[in-house]
Amino acid sequence: MQSVKNVLLKDFSNKKYTMSSKKVDITIIGGGILGLSTAMQLSKRLTNSKIIVLEKEENLAVHQTGHNSGVIHSGLYYRPGSQKASFCVDGASALRTFCDENTIPYDLVGKLVVATNEQELNRLDTLLERGKANGVEGITMIGPEQLKEIEPHVTSGIRAIHCPMTGIIDYVLVTNTYAKIFQNNNGEIFSSTKVLSISKRSNRINIHTTNGDFETKYIINCAGLYADSIARKMGIDPGIRIIPFRGEYFALADNSTHLVNGLIYPVPDPAFPFLGVHYTRMINGTVEAGPNAVLAFAQEGYSKTKININEFLGTLMYSGFWSMTKKYWKTGMQEMYRSLSKDAFTKSLQKLLPEINKSDLVSSGSGVRAQAVDRTGFLLDDFHIVETDRAIHVQNAPSPAATSSLGIGNYITNIALKNFDL
């Protein structure tokens, strides 16, 4: 996999340009999976337009995409009629087709959503109804005997939803494949190019970066953890703030990975937008356990000790943060305790796999979720893509954004074709 990444990234341009010499039609800010899906699809349909991608890191897919658990979601959880539901179900099918056409490996290992007590059964029934309403393929309710046939070590389950079409994949490889197609369509990617400021001049937009200045007609903001910051640089009040939540994982030790065949999830709490700690078999054969969800002290706060004072103060000064905290402080305290206590983390995991012990868990990585929160403290639970003058902003794109990347990219492309004068 690393060799594929190097082949793609070595062609990235880091040359210095001035505005007078580098004029383009569309600039996409953000080199994650959504930015590159959009770039690829735009380049196929706007063959006479100059399209570029600006990425502040040296490589693509470094942040949310690169810290993704690698699940091809089925569309089970999402409110029928929501963008998440429609984009995920169609997006998963489109993604599998794309991978088949481009020899990208994936594995439909299937997922179980497991109820371990009577109180969870009504929520499990509601979840099954949602999945059927969303057109999720092959989902069924199963009892403890079938459950144990699929996941023999889940001895605590009394009933479960089985999603056979849920899969696992490497989204970094997917992103780099999007990038390669985009480059083959005459698109350019500028890595190590951080946006410092943005200004408008007549019908052009000037972007000042660490890699020189660019002049563009239109901007598509796919900046993820900094999507609200890019909007503000354009003089736009996005009405939300991106609050970073760190998800911390353990991995199962090599002698314990046999305990998990596919994906094992708890029944989610509908009052909280996170799915709870679960088990995920990765495409490389390892098994991750987690994540929790704790407030990060930096937009890219992948560790407990990573603090960006300015970014953290921005969070603390935002009224929506305190409204959110008032609503969820009990859950937040539980998540923080679990972050600090491996015993507590283990206990949460034992709800699904009773035989798991603390010694089965080894340190692993973490990810940061870019959660959009409005001024009332509401955590946006659907994709949120808005248009402003000469720009499109992806303001909220949590999971299943990677699964839905082709659908979201097509949606943005259609907006651009309709509203951009190219």
Decide if 220 contacts 412 (C-beta within 8 A).
yes
The reply to whether 318 falls in a domain is yes
Domain range for 408: 2-64+172-239+382-419
Mean pLDDT of 44-59: 97
Element (H, E) at 28: strand 23-29
342: left (phi over 0), alpha (psi -120 to 50) or beta: alpha
Comparing CA positions, the residue from 172, 92, 105 lying closest to residue 406 is 92
Q: What is the pLDDT of residue 203?
A: 86
The reply to whether 109 falls in a domain is no
List, in sequence order, every beta strand (DSSP E) within 233-307: 240-252, 263-266, 278-281, 287-290, 294-295
The reply to whether 216 falls in a domain is yes
pLDDT digit string (tens) for 211-262? 999 999 999 999 999 999 999 999 999 999 999 999 999 999 999 999 999 9
- Domain check: are 263 and 229 in the same one? no
DSSP alpha helices (H): ranges in 190-301?
A: 227-233
CATH number for the domain harbouring residue 23: 3.50.50.60
Cα distances from 163 to residues 132, 145, 262, 284, 402, in angstroms, run 11, 16, 10, 21, 18
Decide if 12 contacts 190 (C-beta within 8 A).
yes
202: left (phi over 0), alpha (psi -120 to 50) or beta: left
Q: What is the pLDDT of residue 272?
A: 67
The reply to whether 193 falls in a domain is yes
Strands 212-221 and 391-396, by their bridges, are: parallel
- Domain check: are 189 and 296 in the same one? no
* pLDDT at residue 9 tops 80: no
CATH number for the domain harbouring residue 257: 3.30.9
Q: In total, how many domains does the chain have? A: 2
pLDDT band at 326 (very low <50, low <70, confident <90, very high): very high
Decide if 120 contacts 270 (C-beta within 8 A).
no
Directed axis angle between helix 319-340 and helix 342-350, to 10°?
90
pLDDT band at 365 (very low <50, low <70, confident <90, very high): confident
* pLDDT at residue 20 tops 50: no
The reply to whether 145 falls in a domain is no
- Domain check: are 266 and 363 in the same one? yes
- Domain check: are 345 and 264 in the same one? yes
Q: How many CA atoms lie within 13 A of 241 on its CB side?
A: 21
Strands 391-396 and 140-142, by their bridges, are: unpaired
Cis ω on the peptide bond leading into residue 152 (within 30° of 0)? no
Token output for 387: 């248009």
If one counts every other C-beta atom within 10 angstroms of the C-beta of residue 129, the result is: 11
pLDDT band at 16 (very low <50, low <70, confident <90, very high): very low
The reply to whether 280 falls in a domain is yes
Token output for 89: 């179900």
- Domain check: are 347 and 291 in the same one? yes
In degrees, rounded to 5, the angle at the alpha carbon of residue 332 between the alpha carbons of residues 297 and 222 is: 50
Strands 167-169 and 106-107, by their bridges, are: antiparallel
Pairs from 321-330 (Cβ < 8 Å, separation ≥ 24): 321/241, 321/243, 321/373, 321/377, 322/377, 323/375, 323/376, 323/377, 324/243, 324/373, 324/377, 324/378, 324/379, 325/377, 326/377, 327/377, 328/272
Q: What is the pLDDT of residue 382?
A: 94
Tell me the pLDDT of the chain averaged across its residues.
92
List, in sequence order, every beta strand (DSSP E) within 297-390: 361-374, 384-388
The reply to whether 338 falls in a domain is yes
pLDDT digit string (tens) for 312-321? 999 999 999 9
Comparing CA positions, the residue from 127, 184, 192 lying closest to residue 161 is 127
Token output for 255: 């002698």
* pLDDT at residue 4 tops 60: no
Mean pLDDT of 148-161: 96
- Domain check: are 246 and 233 in the same one? no
- Domain check: are 369 and 296 in the same one? yes
The reply to whether 142 falls in a domain is no
- Domain check: are 314 and 247 in the same one? yes
Mean pLDDT of 70-78: 94
- Domain check: are 250 and 370 in the same one? yes
Q: What is the pLDDT of residue 150?
A: 97
- Domain check: are 269 and 406 in the same one? no
Percent of the chain with pLDDT over 70: 94
Decide if 246 contacts 295 (C-beta within 8 A).
yes
- Domain check: are 317 and 369 in the same one? yes
- Domain check: are 182 and 58 in the same one? yes
Please tell me which residue, 230 or 332, carries the higher pLDDT value.
Answer: 230
Q: What is the pLDDT of residue 205?
A: 96
In degrees, rounded to 5, the angle at the alpha carbon of residue 48 between the alpha carbons of residues 45 and 51 is: 75
